[in-house]
């Protein structure tokens, strides 16, 4: 008759929300930066705040040009479509966002065929499998055009040596190399790199502001001038040409200024939470190295039951065979203590 409580729009907000780092809301400082933004019609190229954001992100990433997008899904899709023609193919992890979680957009809207490769536990794609999946130049096959990696993936930062190894394949086979860097800033902070070091091996990158950076929305695509020109045409076609979007770009500029170095706090809290839950639940808890952790279930310890118990204690989590918990700027050290306490209480109820 009515939607379940879980789906109801009237569901009260969780006291502690660990479902994702996308749940953050703009802080007072961010809202005031948004309210004071100077704006114009960005489709006409008139919005100075959007232009400033694009310039700053291009510079930080060490690329020639950038374009602001409403979402990371659209920015990845425009990137793939700006690199590829109909009938081309992109190599991608089977766990990658651009393959699994973007509605198949590259195939549906771009006529670009994915060639998925199983991600290893650590998020990497085995290089021999990448090489084996590159198609010969033969009219039977789609044309392999692009390799895409995700960093961080499942919260895990990729090793620079690994990225360079894949870059070598891309260069030697004349393929384009794209980074889905939705959480590239987390990787940057965890590896103590600069953004331009992290983006250097890639021809293009998509960077999100609506994850750990705490902006309400927005992603920036970076690459060469010619590539960004093509991506702007695709963006318009996909409905992503926005007018006074400087209000949103102002939130992203604020995030660049205030919310990057603090990502280290999220990482520390995630690591402490992993440690605490390991003790409370006596089960395998994997810390990703950035702001995520994964609690593994067993016969004895069903994650569905734990998730249900936590939700009843006002702690938001997404259930599955493993429980993914994500720290972000809405999570404090006290919250971590409270979650560990709730997990202990759950353990006491278990047989
Ligand atoms: C969130 C995310 C995106 C983009 O998602 P949007 O919700 O469309 O902004 C892309 N890639 C990864 C890895 C992500 O986590």
Which string of DSSP letters, residue by residue, matches 178-192?
A: EEEETTHHHHHHHHT
- The closest-lying atom of ligand 1 relative to the alpha carbon of residue 74 is 8
Confidence of residue 285 (pLDDT cuts 50, 70, 90): very high
Is the pLDDT reported for residue 6 higher than 80? no
Ligand 1 contact, 219 CB (< 6 A)? yes
Distance 97 CA to ligand 1 centre (A): 7
Confidence of residue 93 (pLDDT cuts 50, 70, 90): very high
Ligand 1 contact, 102 CB (< 6 A)? no
Distance 347 CA to ligand 1 centre (A): 34
Write the pLDDT tens digit of every residue in 203-255: 999 999 999 999 999 999 999 999 999 999 999 999 999 999 999 999 999 99
Ligand 1 contact, 17 CB (< 6 A)? no
- Would you state the structure tokens that stand for residue 134, as one six-digit string? 């590159």
Cis peptide before 152 (omega within 30 of 0): yes
Cα 99 to the center of its chain, rounded Å: 13
- How much is the pLDDT for 153? 98
Residue with tokens 């972000």: 328
The pTM of the full predicted model, rounded to 2 decimals, is 0.95
Taking each continuous run of H as one helix and of E as one strand, the counts in the chain are 14, 12
Average pLDDT over residues 32-36: 98
- How much is the pLDDT for 48? 98
Distance 212 CA to ligand 1 centre (A): 11
Ligand 1 contact, 72 CB (< 6 A)? yes
Cα 10 to the center of its chain, rounded Å: 28
Average pLDDT over residues 324-338: 97
Ligand 1 contact, 150 CB (< 6 A)? yes
Ligand 1 contact, 42 CB (< 6 A)? no
- How much is the pLDDT for 320? 86
- How much is the pLDDT for 3? 38
Average pLDDT over residues 283-303: 95
Residues 269/339, Cβ–Cβ less than 8 Å? no
Is the pLDDT reported for residue 2 higher than 50? no
Write the pLDDT tens digit of every residue in 181-198: 999 999 999 999 999 999
**How far is it, in rounded angstroms, from Cα 42 to Cα 68?**
10
- How much is the pLDDT for 12? 59
Closest CA to 204 of 192, 215, 220, 193: 220
Which protein residue has the closest C-alpha to ligand 1 atom 3? 72
Is the pLDDT reported for residue 138 higher than 50? yes
Ligand 1 contact, 290 CB (< 6 A)? no
């Amino acid at each position: 008759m009515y939607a379940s409580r879980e789906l109801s729009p009237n569901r009260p907000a969780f006291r502690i929300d660990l479902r994702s780092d996308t749940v953050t809301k703009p802080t007072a400082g961010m809202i005031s930066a948004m309210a004071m933004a100077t704006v114009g019609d960005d489709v006409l190229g008139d919005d100075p705040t959007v232009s400033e954001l694009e310039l700053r992100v291009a510079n930080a990433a060490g690329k020639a040009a950038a374009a602001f997008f409403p979402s990371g899904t659209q920015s990845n899709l425009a990137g793939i479509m700006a690199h590829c023609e109909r009938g081309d193919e992109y190599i991608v992890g089977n766990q990658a966002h651009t393959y699994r979680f973007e509605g198949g957009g590259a195939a549906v809207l771009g006529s670009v065929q994915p060639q998925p490769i199983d991600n290893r536990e650590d998020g990497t794609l085995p290089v021999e499998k990448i090489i084996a999946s590159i198609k010969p130049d033969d009219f039977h096959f789609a044309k392999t055009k692009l390799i895409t990696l995700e960093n961080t993936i499942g919260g895990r930062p990729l090793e620079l040596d690994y990225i360079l190894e894949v870059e070598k394949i891309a260069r030697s086979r004349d393929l384009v190399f794209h980074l889905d860097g939705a959480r590239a800033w987390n990787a940057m902070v965890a590896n103590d790199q600069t953004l331009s070091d992290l983006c250097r091996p890639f021809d293009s990158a998509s960077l999100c502001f609506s994850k750990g950076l705490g902006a309400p929305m927005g992603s920036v695509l970076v690459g060469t001038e010619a590539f960004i020109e093509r991506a702007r045409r695709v963006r318009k076609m996909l409905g992503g040409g926005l007018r006074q979007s400087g209000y949103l770009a102002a939130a992203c500029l604020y995030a660049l200024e205030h919310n990057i170095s603090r990502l280290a706090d999220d990482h520390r809290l995630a690591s402490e939470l992993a440690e605490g839950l390991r003790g409370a639940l006596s089960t395998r808890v994997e810390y990703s190295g950035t702001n995520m952790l994964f609690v593994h279930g067993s016969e004895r310890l069903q994650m569905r039951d734990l998730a249900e118990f936590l939700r009843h204690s006002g702690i938001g989590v997404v259930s599955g065979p493993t429980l993914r918990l994500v720290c972000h700027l809405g999570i404090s050290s006290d919250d971590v203590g409270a979650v560990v306490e709730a997990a202990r209480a759950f353990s006491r109820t278990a047989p």
